[in-house]
């Protein structure tokens, strides 16, 4: 996997910290497994004290100027995610895209795009052993798994960087963790 340029990581952290300092909201959107990755990230941001919401929940407030939409889509063309980004752009929110395709519609709408490589084509041969014999070593993981797992690792690493920058400990985060589970 290619390394994500540190300047992009630093920029995302800076944007998140500015939003928190100004009392701005961070909205997370993703569909399917990317949405689950987004929910995990939202939970950790909440543990750090961010005002964070998941798009699509009944209690999600309106997005406004200066708020952040964190949009996760491997293809960068997921209809619901792109529509949310278009609305975010209209209301003056900042868009951070996590995608494999920076030239996609989502990538072009984003103020900041972080490129997470993912699977770019379907397997030519269905059978694993046939692929091995033919020397066709395609990914074993189906569909968007590589993107989703890599996104989860990247977003968790952002949390570690934010913890360090904010001087937060795991004990402080645990104090915000759900008590009704």
Q: Which residues are catalytic?
A: 148
Residue with tokens 């407030």: 61
Closest CA to 30 of 67, 68, 80, 77: 80
Those residues whose C-beta lies under 8 Å from the C-beta of residue 80, and which sit 6 or more positions away, are 29, 31
Rg (the chain; Cα; Å): 18
Phi, psi angle pair for 48, to nearest 5°: -90, 0
| 60 C-beta neighbours (distance < 10 Å), count | 14
């Amino acid at each position: 996997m290619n390394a994500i340029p540190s300047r992009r990581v630093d920029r995302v952290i800076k944007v998140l910290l500015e939003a928190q300092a100004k009392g701005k909201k961070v909205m997370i959107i993703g569909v399917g497994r990317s949405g689950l990755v987004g929910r995990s990230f939202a939970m950790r941001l909440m543990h750090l004290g961010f005002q964070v919401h998941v798009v699509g929940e009944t209690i999600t407030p309106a997005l406004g100027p200066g708020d952040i939409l964190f949009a996760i889509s491997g293809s960068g063309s997921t209809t619901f995610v792109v529509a949310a980004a278009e609305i975010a752009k209209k209301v003056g929110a900042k868009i951070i895209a996590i995608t494999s395709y920076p030239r996609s519609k989502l990538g072009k709408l984003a103020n900041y795009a972080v490129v997470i490589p993912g699977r770019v084509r379907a397997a030519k041969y269905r059978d694993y052993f046939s692929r091995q014999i033919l020397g066709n070593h395609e990914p074993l993981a189906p569909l968007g798994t590589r993107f989703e797992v890599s996104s989860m690792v990247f977003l968790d690493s952002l949390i570690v960087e934010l913890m360090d920058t904010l001087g937060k400990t795991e004990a402080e985060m645990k104090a915000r963790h759900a008590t009704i589970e």
